[in-house]
Amino acid sequence: MQIRNKTFKLYLDANTIQKRIAEMGKEITADFHDKNPVFIIVLTGAFAFSSELIRQFQGKCVVRFTRIKSYTGTISGEIETFTGFDIPIKDRHVIFLEDIIDTGKTVFHLTKEAEKLKPASITVATLLQKQILRPNLIKGDYVGFEIPDVFVVGYGLDYDEEGRNWNGVYQLASE
């Protein structure tokens, strides 16, 4: 697969991803089925993963969105955009749905902002988590797949806004 001058090769196929999302849905249901959690989908990358995961959740829930951006091209940088939360989350169980935890900056920012609003709990579910040392010690509570420190696209993840629609996760090939 090609985006501009970059070549990507299949890393995780759609069937493998969907099977793991179903398992994650069961795990989250077991922990939150009676708590009416607020799922906050982190746009834009988490939309594909989140839509499948939420359908696997068996219980009452509320679904909301926030937008946060820190990537430019293949590099994670500083937080550029954050839209906040559009409903009160005080005393609610908040579950952030993220596409990937890389440096942990976006999840760290989200959790710090949410903590100010005094939720009952904050949980993070992510499709992918890179196996790297993070200075902020942020990691997902529910992780679809641990991956090495490689750049990936597809299944909602992008390279300069392209590749989100690819049915699978693709790794940047050696250049």
Active site residues: 102
Neighbours of 7 (CB within 10 A): 13
* Long-range CB pairs of 109-115, under 8 A, 24+ apart, other chains included: 109/68, 109/79, 109/82, 110/40, 110/42, 110/66, 110/68, 111/138, 113/82, 113/84, 113/85, 114/85, 114/89
Calpha distance 144→32 (Å, rounded): 18
